[in-house]
Structure 1
Amino acid sequence: MKKLLSFLAVMALLVSLVSCGGAKGETTAANTEPEIPQAKVTDAPMGPMPSWVIAGDSVGVNSEKQKVIFFIGYGESKDLSTAKEAAQLNAAAAAAKAIKSLVTAQVARAWESIGSGEDESKEQVMKGLEAQVSKNVDVSGMLKGDQYYRQVVKPKIVNGKLAGWSTPMYEYYVRYSMEYDRYIAARDGVLDQKKKETKLNDRQKKLYADMESKLDELDASTEEEKIQ
């Protein structure tokens, strides 16, 4: 009987300790500073932010079922028309950046899929590739599509705490598209030039051919792909 009472006393003590610990944890959570938002929307005449803005630069299919590359031009200003102009001007820079990222990712994926590993052949292909391709793509013919804007205020942070909000600013987004075939022509043109400039042995020629075959498979896909 004494053993049973001792056991029950120990269990009661453990339960008490656990309960105190839980309560302490809850108090700590309650005292945690709330997360400060990056921006607060003050006016959204066009409604909630559309999915194409959230998706960002991507490869996809337009309304005419053509494979295209989508680019997002972004601008901000206290004045709406100035924000729109900035978004249109920034679109070309966004396109060049996205093309660099896309060609690098595609060639890396193709190289990985043929299982060749890291070697001098891959280095020869990748060296300066993204810069050359983006330079060879003419983005002047991009087609303007959807547009969206909203007005926001941004937090003023002092000593890690919210101390107020900024003057209202307009955020303006413009979506442009470019035919994917134009990108392919520029990319493959650079790859062909690299092959001519480099003396390839038989093994390297085989790797190049396999890589180009994998790139063709990527080009044939109609699945939407976000450009990182």
Structure 2
Amino acid sequence: MPRILLIDDDTQLGPPLASYFQRFDLALVQAFRPSEGLAELRRGGFDAAILDVMLPEMDGFELCRTIRKQSDLPIVMLTARGDVMDRVVGLELGADDYLPKPFEPRELVARVQTVLRRRVAAPAPRPEPGVLAFEGLRIDPARREVLRQGERVELTGTEFELLHLLAREAGRVLSRDDILNHLRGHEAELLTRAVDIVVSRLRRKLEPLDCIKTLRNAGYSLALRREA
């Protein structure tokens, strides 16, 4: 059963949410303070984390940044209702998804299930015909591994899925809506700016390769040639 760590100082939130998550075969553990949550993560055994923005000790953005320095664990952020900047900042720092408060528990479960599906690798570490090889870049969907000029690049689940999508559709321009519809996997409020943020993160991680081309008012495409 996947284990999810909720870091939120609301003492009334965890118990009913844990009971609800259990109906979907998800085990939810709550930490009330960032220091407690980071200690839990260091002990290991978690498959995703849910972070509230408003926390004691440090806010959820700083906590997300701290986790990202150590791990590519899927992260869902709980943000203030209607505050687009909260969502943008969270995504820029490496969160995989966001959900405004107050939220419906079923939608939070759906968001968590989506980031977990992105995280799951194919089970067989055998030669994989689905490996995508380009000049300076190699993408292995089975191992969820990306090699840039022979060196492994650590990507979040969302970053990997976006890069894999562009690579599978190499030569085709994908609009932001195309990309969002693929990444979400369920009906949800969409934030077009999210695609630009994830693309920006990918570009930085894949430097010095110039991998992703922007076509004004059209979308994005992979700018590398396939290896023969």
Normalized against structure 1, the TM-score is what?
0.24
Higher relative contact order (CA 8 A, sep 6+): 1
Task: Kindly indicate which of the two structures has a greater share of residues assigned to helix.
Answer: 1
Larger Rg: 1
